[in-house]
Amino acid sequence: MNPGAAGKTAAQSIRVMIVDDAVVVRGVLGRWIEAEPDMQIVASLRNGREAVDHVERVRPDVVVLDIDMPELDGLHALPLLLARKRDLVVIMASTLTRRNAEISLRALTLGAKDYIAKPNAYGDFAGADEFHRQLIEKIRQLSARFHRRVPAVGAAPPPKPPAVWPAKPAETAAARIETPPLAPHHPDDIVLRAFPACVPKVLVIGASTGGPQALMSVIGKLNGVFDRVPILITQHMPPTFTAIIAEHLTQATGRKAREGRDGEPVTGGHVYVAPGGKHMRVVHRDGGPVIEINDQPPVNFCKPAVDPLFESAARVWPQGVCALVLTGMGSDGLRGGRAIVAAGGSVVAQDEATSVVWGMPGQVAHAGICSAVLPVHEIAPRLNRLFSGEGA
């Protein structure tokens, strides 16, 4: 048993399986996870075949799954793992190459809940604070969303399977990554605002975990919006991923979608995606709105972040912004959503039942700034009516 298991029980802990062919990666990720008081490693394996063989015995809640591995890679192991444990939360882990980004996005359509970009070199792991923070947050938040564990009274926890990396020194509480607990959400507490009387002039969208799937579901059905106004999107994603998302949006809509370029005019019928690793804002210049791309520090731990886009849109199009907040962790978009409403615009949020994580949309819903909180399949029809002037 790993020393990090002391004081943990099966009912209290999130059970994590790591699957990666690099022993260094398994070791670092394992130490990070074991340092968390509410997590334990139940298996640390070197390929997808071992993961498939072990998943029913060790019963993980979450699997961190590498893509490139011998014998059975992550993409092919994914459906086999889900077939053996239907409620399994799988987080794909890959380095930032175009091929791996494409595979990670493909994995989302096959049932993976999220992805995370690994540092490109093993030596980079030691100082990868942001990767560390994201990994722990994704494990904790996704497990909370998909595993509502109720401890059995008097039940003894099963023995913890041994991990396969060397023992580590005890870590202090200060070294742990803290993520805020999920606040309980009560639909009856949501108070909706009336939509403004004026027809919106722009649609801005913010999304994070689960966002690619939600975006594809919504964007392809927004013909009534495309015909009239520009669409600007901030999806929490690293570089390379955002370029691929833009390509997929072009295929899904038949309209031009691409990463925003600094100084580019914003025109109707186009989709602009914030590039990974940069913030995208809108400014008024030379008589019209243009894209501004900047390399300022992360906002809400995110880069790109939703708030800079939303806040800047509220200044450029007073009373003319409709914001859509889709599935995602955290509260990014709340401050910007408030700015949009204060300027006379409107906010629409995805509902909890169809969100992978109801963090971002839940925050704006419970802040009382939404004019609608909708299942993902109802969002496009409502927006089409709103932007056509027929009323919401």
Full strand arrangement of the beta sheet holding 346-350:
256-259, 270-273, 231-235, 202-207, 321-325, 346-350, 372-374
Catalytic annotation on 270?
no
pLDDT surpassing 70 at residue 183: no
Q: Is 42 exposed, middle or buried (0-12, 13-18, 19+ CB in 10 A)?
A: buried
pLDDT surpassing 50 at residue 151: no
Q: What percent of the chain has pLDDT over 90?
A: 75
The amino acid sitting at 64 is V
The SS3 call for residue 16 is strand
Q: What is the mean pLDDT of residues 139-147?
A: 88
Name the band, by pLDDT with cuts 50, 70 and 90, for residue 253. confident
Q: Of residues 143, 208, 346, 355, which has the active-site annotation?
A: 208
Q: Of residues 13, 66, 114, 236, which has the active-site annotation?
A: 236
pLDDT of 127 reads: 56
The SS3 call for residue 10 is coil
CA–CA gap between residue 29 and residue 188 (Å, rounded): 40
**Are 321 and 199 within 8 A, CB to CB?**
no
pLDDT surpassing 90 at residue 84: yes
37 versus 175: the higher-pLDDT residue is 37
Catalytic annotation on 332?
yes
Q: Of residues 61, 307, 332, 351, which has the active-site annotation?
A: 332
Token pair of 121, please? 């070199």
**Are 53 and 113 within 8 A, CB to CB?**
no
Name the band, by pLDDT with cuts 50, 70 and 90, for residue 352. very high
CA–CA gap between residue 196 and residue 119 (Å, rounded): 45
Q: Which H or E element spans position 62?
A: strand 62-66
CA–CA gap between residue 357 and residue 82 (Å, rounded): 19
Annotate 220-251 with b (16+ C-beta within 10 A) or e (fewer). Answer: ebbebbbebbbbbbbbbbbebbbbbbbebbee
Sign of the Cα pseudo-torsion (346, 352, 355, 356, in order): positive
pLDDT of 318 reads: 93
Expressed in angstroms, the distance from the first to the final Cα of the chain is 58
Please report, to the nearest 10 degrees, the dihedral formed by the alpha carbons of residues 166, 169, 170, 176 taken in order.
-80
pLDDT of 223 reads: 87
pLDDT of 390 reads: 82
* 211-219 and 241-253 helices, crossing angle to 10°: 20
CA–CA gap between residue 195 and residue 366 (Å, rounded): 17
pLDDT surpassing 50 at residue 339: yes
The pLDDT mean for the chain works out to 87
Token pair of 344, please? 């006379």
Catalytic annotation on 208?
yes
For 191-240, the pLDDT digits (tens) are: 999 999 999 999 999 999 999 999 999 999 998 898 889 999 999 999 99
- Per DSSP, 177 falls in state P
Token pair of 240, please? 């390379």
Cα distances (Å, whole numbers) of residue 347 to 61, 97, 186:
34, 35, 19
Q: Is 187 exposed, middle or buried (0-12, 13-18, 19+ CB in 10 A)?
A: exposed
pLDDT of 320 reads: 96
